[in-house]
Chains A and B, each alone.
Chain A
Amino acid sequence: MEHLWALGSGDVKSVHAALKARRITVNTIQSTLRRLYDKELLRRDKISHAHVYSPRLTRQEYQRQVLAEVVGDVLRGEADAALSAFVDLAAEVDEAHLRRLEQLIAERRGRSGGAA
């Protein structure tokens, strides 16, 4: 994705040439690009005999999409096993209950203010 965001588009050979230093095989590059295409992160055009891939989303759009997905999963409680939330992420407290608690707080503030 980094390479394609930098150049705008590329085929398997050009991506492999750019990532040569990492010793990744052409087959791995090919299957990775196909998977990214299947996930609708890349667009694919056939030019001559080669598939040329280009990103469907800008880097910022992609990051926003990833963040939205992760936050959605966290708010659905899928990370609950590994976190302690200030107030339960699945909090569903009715308005009347919250008002009662706010009233208790206000009374306490009033008493403290009166005592001071």
Chain B
Amino acid sequence: MNGSPLALWLGVAALLAAAVVAITIAIAWPRMQARLMQVAPARRARLSTAMCLAPLAAGVALVLACLLPSLYAALWPALDHCTHHADEHLHLCLAHPPTAALGLAGALVGAGALALVLLRGAPGLVRLLRAQGLLARLHDASSAGPGDVRSVDTDAAFSFAGGALRPTIFLSRGLQARLSAPELAAVLAHERAHVRRRDVLRRHVARLGALLHGPGTARALLSALELACEQACDEEAAAALGDRVQVAQAIVAVARLAPRPPPALAATTAGFTAEALTQRVTALLATPTPELAASRWHLLAAAALVLLAPALHHATETVLSLLARP
């Protein structure tokens, strides 16, 4: 019997791993959410990003784990375990390509899942390209402002950090004219924190990873990431200015000046905006949660992958055998 290509089996394994992790996070999210909110913002942003990327990372890690035994066998032939298998056993091995073929049900589910992910990602990609185009036009239509800021000559009051690879701060003249000097300093310190942390790029990467989550979980994780990034920048601004209340005051002042959106858009965002504003302001008025130093969990995960690769490889072969054509 002609077997399906190794890449196809590895793809199916990656999709299964991603699905298991996505379902686990979806089930655990209601409990995790409350605990996550107690974590300091910068660490919360890292954790939210990691959870968005977890299904993708699990898929990639499992593919690596499946291929590592081939590498071990190439370096030390005594470790080649394929010879211990029966011939009809599914081999996830570079030296002994699989002889089993993927069954119709497995192929349909895999193709359906892949098509769903691509369909979900396409509108986001179109929105992103349009947004980047708009920012490029805004950059051309704006002028150099104070320091690293682009000044936008309009009465509307707004400020933001835009662009993924080369983030830029845009500040409208309307906002400059209506804020006091301390409020403006808080706004700029916050936007500089976004630029330093590369938050726009972080959100793009998280959105890409979130495509492998269910729609509800993806929305919840991305909202948590959004709030964590804003609060992390509030904290950096407060530290730079040495005054937390000044940043809280600037947030309320800018919210008061914010341009009114069309009613349809306002209806969908009002709840989140008001809640996020309250959380940001009350967090700044409270005693700050201490930030912990970045842990070395990724090194531990890499070591575990290297050590557990043969066991994961074998377990994956066994599970995938269930999807093989009889």
Contacts and interface: CB of A to CB of B under 8 A. Distances in A.
A84 B261 contact: no
A74 B135 CA distance: 8
- Give the interface size bracket for B toward A: 35 or more
B247 to A, nearest CB: 10
A83 B152 CA distance: 15
Contacts of A36: none
A93 B281 CA distance: 13
B104 interface: no
Contact of A81 (B131, B153, B248, B252): B131
A70 B132 CA distance: 12
B100 to A, nearest CB: 42
A57 interface: no
Nearest to A64: B153
- Give the interface size bracket for A toward B: 35 or more
- Looking at chain B's contact residues, the main secondary structure is helix
B35 to A, nearest CB: 25
B255 A87 contact: yes
B266 interface: yes
Contacts of B229: 84
Contacts of A19: none
Given A80-B131, A105-B248, A88 B141 contact: no
B138 A104 contact: no
A112 B248 CA distance: 14
Interface of B: 124, 127-128, 130-132, 134-135, 137-138, 141-142, 152-154, 156, 158-164, 170, 172, 187, 190-191, 194, 199-200, 203, 229-230, 233, 245, 248-252, 254-256, 258-262, 265-266, 269-270, 272-274, 276-278, 281-282, 285
Interface of A: 63, 66-68, 70-71, 73-94, 97-98, 101-102, 104-105, 108-109, 112
28 contacts: A63-B141, A70-B134, A70-B141, A71-B152, A71-B154, A74-B158, A80-B127, A80-B131, A81-B131, A84-B162, A84-B194, A84-B199, A84-B200, A84-B229, A84-B233, A85-B158, A86-B158, A87-B277, A88-B269, A88-B276, A90-B273, A91-B273, A92-B266, A92-B270, A97-B277, A97-B278, A105-B281, A108-B248
